[in-house]
Amino acid sequence: MKIKAILILLILSKFSLSQVSPVSRDLLFGVKTGLNFTRFSNQFYELDHGTKPLIGVFIESRVYNNVFMAGSVSYSLKGSNSASPFYKIENQYLEPELTFGLKLSKYLRLYSGVKLSLLRHSNLLILNGTSFSGYERIPITGYHSEVSIPIGISYFLYRNTSLNIDYCLPVISDAKSNFGLTFKIPVNSPNKAETYRQKRKIASANQINQLKNGTLIVRLKTSENKISVLKDMGKVEMAERVQKAQKEENMRIVHAFRTELDFCKVEFVFSNNSQNILDGNLEHIFLNDMLKVDSARQIDTANEILIAEFDSKSKDTVKYFSHVGHGYIENKGVRPIHRYYTSSMEFEGLALIILDKDFVQLNKPFPYFIPAEFKSIKKHPEHSFLLTPFFLYPNWYYNKTVREMNRRLHRFYNKVN
């Protein structure tokens, strides 16, 4: 009988855990104590409910969203009373229990599982004025170990302390009915709130999963301010060289993304359309591979939109709301602007950076930036002796950087799924 009950526990736990994916390890462990209200069966006398205490230890963990698993071991007394003739039945059990709970609200949880009650001692208590307790204990037989299915509800009090009320459905039992009222008191400190690191992990996991079916918009520079200044200074030839160089650079960036990144859909826009992205005006701004606006190119705005660009800044910009201020926006005048604060800078230098649709840079563990050291070598060849190998070709750095970004996106996606 005991072996069958243990097998039931193992099969139930294995099946239940195979149906869910763990999302956190919010372990609680502590002490449980309470009362059993039991009515045993007896072939000779009608027995009433008796009240006996229990004490034990428990461990509990979230296994999936609002699903919890708890295990406990208790030393439990159960008893029944007879009024005429007056006597008591008192049994002592060692009770391992496995339950699964479903969170209904912040304070309520339903649970059910399997309880194995291993009989240790069974006694008949009769009145005896000569004994210290007033009762004489006489060992008896006829009662056995039990298997039952507890069904109950938990009400959470202060600091995850819970009041639990359950009824045990007998599978193999000598009891006609058995109610339980217990308190679970954790001895470790539960997580009051998600830490900064936990928030980053959750946010990054959501972003990578959404990006898989979303769009990465690559922002291409125009150098229009520099070109305009050069023309105003009468340096038309230099302005044309800058414009040509910028176009060639953008073409290399487009080629790199088209050939090296397959993690998600990619579209391209010029940087002077940034305000349109912020405002959600995404029509007639996307470019074809020849850097011409192509009205046929559209994206699904219901899915995630992230921004990528080669830029010279890279810092931890997970944003936290600070206050509402006011700022001037071109062609729109003064408008309210939400201000955010971020953590300190981690890295400076040219990099391929990924930002959210509000142009706020993402954060670790999301692979949000890849340093692009090759352009620095192109502009400052005197620094090349600092890196090995020495055969560094300028045309490599876009393809190499995008390829590495693609590899890290795939790796991070596989890690969180």
pLDDT of amino acid 73? 97
Name the fold adopted by 21-188. Answer: Porin (2.40.160)
User: Which long-range contacts link 292-301 to residues 24+ away (Cβ below 8 Å)?
Assistant: 297/267, 299/215, 299/217, 299/265, 299/267, 300/214, 300/215
Residue 81: CB atoms within 10 A of its CB come to 18
Please, what are the averages of pLDDT over each run of 10 residues along the chain (417 residues)? 44 41 62 92 74 95 89 94 78 95 92 95 80 79 90 90 93 78 86 68 88 91 86 87 89 92 92 86 87 86 88 54 52 58 52 87 86 56 42 61 92 90
Instruction: State the DSSP H helix or E strand holding residue 36, giving kind and residue range, or none if neither.
Output: strand 28-40
d(CA 259, CA 353): 18
- Listed residue (177, 120, 121, 122) closest to 148, CA to CA: 177
d(CA 280, CA 197): 30
| Contact (CB, 8 A) for 294 and 282 | no
| Contact (CB, 8 A) for 352 and 368 | no
| Contact (CB, 8 A) for 351 and 314 | yes
Residue 380 structure tokens:
């400052």
d(CA 375, CA 163): 64
pLDDT of amino acid 112? 96
Q: What are the distances in angstroms from CA 79 to CA 119, 144, 361?
A: 13, 14, 65
Instruction: State the DSSP H helix or E strand holding residue 48, giving kind and residue range, or none if neither.
Output: strand 48-64
Residue 209 structure tokens:
């999963």
pLDDT of amino acid 345? 43
pLDDT of amino acid 382? 45
Strands (E), 366-405: 369-371
d(CA 202, CA 246): 38
DSSP codes of every residue in 72-100: EEEEEEEEEEEETTEEEEEEEEEEEEEEE
| Contact (CB, 8 A) for 168 and 37 | no
- Listed residue (203, 248, 148) closest to 364, CA to CA: 203
- Burial of residue 413 (number of CB atoms within 10 Å: 0-12, 13-18, 19+): middle
Domain spans of the chain, in order of start:
21-188, 196-416
d(CA 115, CA 170): 10
